[in-house]
Structure 1
Amino acid sequence: MGVLKGAHGVRGEVRVKSFTADPDALFTYGPLMDEAGKVLVTPLSARPGKDHFIVRPKENLQKEEWDALRGCLVHVSRDRLPEADEDEFYFEDLIGMSVYTVGDTPEGRVRAVQNFGSDDLLEIEIPGAQATVYVPFTRADVPVIDMAARRIVIPELALWANPDDDEA
């Protein structure tokens, strides 16, 4: 949902970058936790900064303690999030879904949704493969996501998994 960017000043405030579609919404979901569920920041108030928010937290940590948490991803309790609309989903819901090309035999499963700075990518584990495959997460490359059946269709997965090694 976001990342801690370290202390802001010396009065106990912390900088938080939001990854939510509506960046302000991050602070309406309750405490911000680490991956294990430990509360890191309970926002009392948040104001915009350059590319982040400056948060006045309930927690009383020193500047050095906030700086030590720099880079820590923050999460919120799933039950605090709004329900996804039809044809929407949370990336977390895609993890573990079976991936098909054609037919009824799964050819892989979603390991993660990644973003290395450009666009979102599905990281697909293919049984027997030594590495995972990254597929652009676009409607063109991933035309079917059936949440009820926990099934994703990527028609051209074979092209991603077995790129043509011939050099021109």
Structure 2
Amino acid sequence: MAAPVCIARIGAAHGVRGAVRLWTFTEDPWAVKDYGPLMTRDGSRQFEVTHVREAKDHLVATLKGIATRDEAERLNGIELYVPRDRLPDTEDDEYYHADLIGLAAVTAAGEPLGRVLAIHNFGAGDIIEIAPPAGATMLLPFSNAVVPEVDIAGGRVVIDLPDQIEGDDPSAA
């Protein structure tokens, strides 16, 4: 089975009939119904979205087998995944964030920085997390200025380090 890709996160219960708030990470939020059963990362649980409607900044979803508020409340925070091969193909200059995990991170000069550990979004935009061979991970804005090149076939991302990071020497502190 292809590696799973997180496409949504269940939020708090909505109402008393088992509906949940649903935050989707797909280009088209409504597509969450089109991928078939959604599963937890480890595949131990599956959920079928039976109905969705739009809310202010999220969707409200009904999941098959979830009929009460108590059942819905127990799902809060669960991330929902689908196998990568269920997602639409990307264009030549497009990629899924999941495709970047594990790629080598190098400077524009080709110096190794480490590996891409994760792509996060805490609400203010995407952040790329780089794990160097030693020391603390780096969290950098995932923008064209900081990540000017993504080369999936070549197995690397180019990172243009901001000056305050490039010149920092943590051992000098």
Tell me the equivalent position of 1:26.
32
Q: Is the CA contact 1:31–1:39 (under 8 Å) kept in the aligned structure 2?
A: no
> How many residues are paired up?
164
**TM-score, normalization by structure 2:** 0.83
Confirm or deny: 8 A CA contact 2:145 2:160 kept in the other structure. no
Report SS of the residue matched to 1:99: strand
Shift of 1:102: 4.7
CA distance in 1 between partners of 2:99 and 2:112 (Å): 18
Q: Distance in 1 between matches of 2:61 and 2:140?
A: 36
Q: Is the 8 A contact 2:113 2:132 kept in 1?
A: yes
SS at match of 2:71: helix
- Counterpart pick for 1:12 among 18, 27, 38: 18
1:73 to 2:76 alignment: no
From 143, 154, 157, give the equivalent of 1:152: 157
Q: Distance in 1 between matches of 2:164 and 2:103?
A: 20
Give the whole-Å Cα distance in 2 for the aligned partners of 1:21 and 1:33: 19
- Once the two structures are superposed, what CA deviation does each residue of 1:59-88 show, in whole Å capped at 9, x if it has no partner? 244321210111111112222100111111
Secondary structure at the counterpart of residue 64 of structure 1: helix
Listed as ranges, the gaps of 5+ residues in structure 2 are 1-6
From the two aligned structures, give the one with the greater strand fraction: 2
Identity %, equivalent residues: 40
Pairing 1:143–2:130 present: no
Please provide the CA RMSD for this pair: 2.2
